[in-house]
A and B are shown apart, each in its own frame.
Chain A
Amino acid sequence: MSAPNVRVLVAVKRVVDYAAKIRVNSAGTAVETAGVKFSINPFDENSTEAAVQLKEKLEKEKKKVEVIAVSCGPNKAQETLRVALAMGADRAIHVDVGEKEELQPLAVAKVLKKIVEDEKPDLVLLGKQAIDDDSSQTGPMLAGLLNWPQASFASKIELAEADKTITVTREIDGGLETIKAPLPAIVTSDLRLNTPRYTSLPNIMKAKKKPLKVIKLADLGLDTKARFEVLKVSEPAKRSGGKIVESVDELLDKLKNEAKVL
């Protein structure tokens, strides 16, 4: 196969499913993960969809696009990669970090930098944040490490293959910002970027045959030590029940005497 015109790297993370009930573990240091459903991070789903749409669009113009999905995590992260493959990615890379270790954003950014140096993509797509730790750091840190232009919170991506630039519309407070950057670039996707496709069963079967490369974290020779320590994880305060008052007088009385706001 000849070299693709555009190569896109999509980073995906395996997170606790958005619909799962979240409980704090007994030590109060993390979220309980045993017996909880996991799935692909919703924002990473957006970025995978964006990559696949780009591929479909450029392939109509007879251009080759290769979409590579990458995930850092335990063995189970491969399930997440299979989802990305079923959505339309061409191949996947799993960076095996073992069962115990949890990588922090900087460490993930370092790993991704290494992958980027090996694979030489024109575009790296990430979700704007993961719904488990909500750091929203990996994309910007990767851009920093590589010294590449970045566009975070993208709600629209247009890639001009001919002059190797990308135009991204970003969602910022109270409006939209459109920026243009030369490739290679980093883009992190926002919720409204697109509607991720639902994987069909035949595609999932096909995804099982797509190539998936496993790299051991230790073999990359990177310093991925934790740089900060999670001291405490706690649940939000429970909402105390409201009261229905019978009359305006009663409301006034309660505001004065119970809530003491008047």
Chain B
Amino acid sequence: MFQLLYLGREYPAGEEFFHKRLKAAFQKNAHLTDPKEIQKRIDLGDYVCKEIEAMYHINKYRAMKKRYYEDHHDQDLVQRQANIQSMADKA
């Protein structure tokens, strides 16, 4: 749970937005008493943690890529150029 709170500090829509949602999500399940059910929700929480981490990473990666890399650095393009070259060689 603390990891979720910690992750919220960097949430693009704001920490407050995140905290309200997070609290609501916890309160929704406050009535649960079955340990199995509770474990399921905890697992879901862990999953959400991973999702948010992945989102932060992709955000940062995209921002960097947009700022510092022209198209010709693009791996896809390199691959495509190689494909065209090999086709040209065959022809």
Q: Is the CB of A174 within 8 A of B72?
A: yes
Interface stretch (choices B25-33, B34-42, B57-65): B57-65
Interface stretch (choices A6-14, A195-203, A249-257): A195-203
Take A191-B69, A196-B57, A198-B57 as given contacts and tell me if A175 and B63 are in contact as well, using a CB distance cutoff of 8 Å.
no
Q: Is the CB of A175 within 8 A of B78?
A: yes
1/0 contact string of B1-33 vs chain A (CB within 8 Å):
011001100001000000000000000000000
Q: Which residues of B contact A19 (CB under 8 A)?
A: 12, 59-60, 63
For A196, the closest partner residue in chain B by CB is B57
Does A66 touch B at the CB level, under 8 Å? no
Count the A-B residue pairs with Cβ separation under 8 angstroms: how many?
Answer: 37
Q: Is the CB of A173 within 8 A of B64?
A: no
Of the listed residues B59, B68, B75, B81, the one surrounded by the most CB atoms of chain A closer than 10 A to its CB is: B68
A248 to B47, CA, bound (A): 52
Does A171 touch B at the CB level, under 8 Å? yes
Q: How many A residues, CB 8 Å from partner?
A: 18
Take A201-B2, A201-B3 as given contacts and tell me if A195 and B57 are in contact as well, using a CB distance cutoff of 8 Å.
yes
Q: Which residues of B contact A174 (CB under 8 A)?
A: 72, 78, 81
Chain B positions within 8 Å of A, measured between CB atoms, are 2-3, 6-7, 12, 53, 56-57, 59-61, 63-65, 67-69, 72-73, 75, 78, 81
A-B contact list, 28 entries, CB within 8 Å: A18-B60, A18-B63, A18-B64, A19-B12, A19-B60, A19-B63, A42-B60, A42-B64, A43-B64, A171-B73, A174-B72, A174-B81, A176-B78, A191-B61, A191-B64, A191-B65, A191-B68, A191-B69, A192-B75, A195-B57, A196-B57, A198-B7, A198-B53, A198-B57, A200-B3, A201-B2, A201-B3, A201-B6
The 7 closest A-B pairs by CB, nearest first: A198-B53, A201-B6, A191-B64, A18-B63, A201-B3, A201-B2, A42-B64
